[in-house]
C-alpha cells in the first residue's frame, strides 16, 4: 500500500441499505477526513479525526458516522442510505496541525437509488 | 464562518493562453491557503500552499499564486497553459485545526 486506499471504487446501493466505505492510509498520519464532492459545491467535510480514538463532525455530518479504532483506518458508514447521499466520497489524511497538506485517496463513487 | 469563493466555474482556453483563476476567502484571522488540482478521473493533488512570508507562491507545473491580504484573495496564475492542464482546480483555506474549507471549484478546459 502506498498513500491512501479506498474501497470500493464504486457502488450502487438501494435506498435504506447500510453501507461502509473503507479508507486506509500507510503514512502514519494522525489526522484523517471524509469529504463528499458534488458538482458546483466543491468538497464538503463530513467527519474528521485528529487522532486515533477521537472523531468530530464536519460541515455535513447528518446520515453518516465514523470510527477511528487505530491510526490507519477510518471507515465511513451510511446507516440507511438515501438518494441525496449519491456523491463521490474522498478520504484524506494529514500530519496533525493546521498547516499541513492533506493527501487524498482515489475516491468512491456511490449511487443511491 | 469561513468561506471560499471561486468566481469562475468554467474556463475555456487555448494552449499558450495565460490563466488566472480567482479565489476569495472570508476569515478574520491568520489564514493558510491552498490550491488543489483534480485531473480527470484522479484524486486531488496539492498545487501550492501559502502559510506565511513571501505572498507570491510558486507551485508545481509552472503554477503560482499571490496572496493579497487587503483583498482577501489568493488567485492562481500560469503564464502559458497546456492541454495537460485540463482539470478542476480548488482553492481552500484552513478552517481551524486540521480542517480545510474548499471552494466550489473551477473546471478548466484547454484546447490544443
Interface with chain B: mutation pick from A5, A31, A98, highest number of B CBs within 10 Å: A98
Q: What is the pLDDT of residues A69-110, one digit of tens each?
A: 999 999 999 999 999 999 999 999 998 776 678 999 999 999
User: What backbone phi and psi angles, to 5 degrees, belong to B65?
Assistant: -145, 150
Contacts of A32 in chain B (CB under 8 A): none
Residue A64 confidence (pLDDT) above 70: yes
A43-54 pLDDT tens trace? 999 999 999 999
Instruction: Supply the pLDDT for residue A96.
Output: 75
Closest residue on chain A to B34 (Cα): A101
A102 touches chain B (CB under 8 A): yes
Interface size between A and B, measured as CB pairs under 8 A? 55
CA distance A79 to chain B (A): 25
The one-digit pLDDT tens for each residue of chain B (112 residues) are 678 999 889 999 999 999 999 999 987 677 889 999 999 988 899 999 998 889 999 999 999 999 999 999 999 999 999 999 999 999 999 866 667 889 999 999 999 8
Partner-chain contact A43 B90, CB within 8 Å = yes
Quote the pLDDT of residue B80. Answer: 97
The pLDDT of A2-27, averaged and rounded, is 95
Distance from the Cα of A42 to chain B's closest Cα (Å) equals 4
> Cβ of B90 and A102 within 8 Å?
no
Q: How far apart are CA B29 and CA B91, in angstroms?
A: 18
- What is the grid cell recorded at B64? 503560482
Give the three-class secondary structure for A49: strand
**Residue ranges with strand state E in chain A:** 4-7, 10-13, 19-25, 31-38, 42-49, 56-57, 64-66, 76-78, 87-94, 103-104, 108-112
Q: Give how far A35 is from chain B: nearest CA, Å.
A: 10
Q: Give the per-residue pLDDT at A100.
A: 72
* CA of A104 vs chain B CAs: smallest distance (Å): 6
Q: How far is CA A104 from CA A89, A109, A110, B75, in A?
A: 10, 14, 17, 23
Q: Are A2 and A103 in contact (CB under 8 A)?
A: no
d(CA B108, CA A90): 21
How much is the pLDDT for B95? Answer: 67
Amino acid at each position: 500500500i502506498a498513500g491512501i486506499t479506498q474501497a470500493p471504487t464504486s457502488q450502487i446501493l438501494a435506498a435504506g441499505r447500510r453501507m461502509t466505505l473503507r479508507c486506509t492510509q500507510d503514512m502514519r498520519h494522525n489526522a484523517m477526513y471524509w469529504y463528499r464532492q458534488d458538482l458546483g459545491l466543491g468538497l464538503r467535510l463530513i467527519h474528521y479525526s485528529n487522532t486515533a480514538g477521537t472523531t468530530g463532525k464536519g460541515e455535513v455530518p447528518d446520515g453518516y458516522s465514523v470510527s477511528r479504532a487505530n491510526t490507519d483506518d477510518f471507515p465511513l458508514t451510511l446507516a440507511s442510505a438515501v438518494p441525496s447521499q449519491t456523491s463521490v466520497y474522498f478520504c484524506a489524511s494529514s500530519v496533525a496541525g493546521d498547516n499541513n497538506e492533506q493527501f487524498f485517496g482515489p475516491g468512491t463513487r456511490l449511487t443511491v437509488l | 464562518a469561513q468561506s471560499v469563493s471561486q468566481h469562475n466555474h468554467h474556463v475555456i482556453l487555448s494552449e499558450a493562453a495565460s490563466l488566472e483563476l480567482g479565489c476569495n476567502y472570508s476569515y478574520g484571522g491568520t489564514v493558510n491557503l491552498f490550491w488543489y488540482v483534480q485531473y480527470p478521473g484522479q484524486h486531488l493533488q496539492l498545487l501550492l500552499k501559502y502559510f506565511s512570508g513571501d505572498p507570491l507562491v510558486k507551485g508545481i507545473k509552472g503554477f503560482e499564486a499571490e496572496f493579497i491580504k487587503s483583498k482577501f484573495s489568493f488567485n492562481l496564475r500560469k503564464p502559458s497553459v497546456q492541454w495537460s492542464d485540463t482539470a478542476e482546480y480548488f482553492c481552500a483555506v484552513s478552517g481551524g485545526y486540521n480542517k480545510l474549507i474548499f471552494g466550489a471549484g473551477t473546471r478548466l478546459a484547454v484546447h490544443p
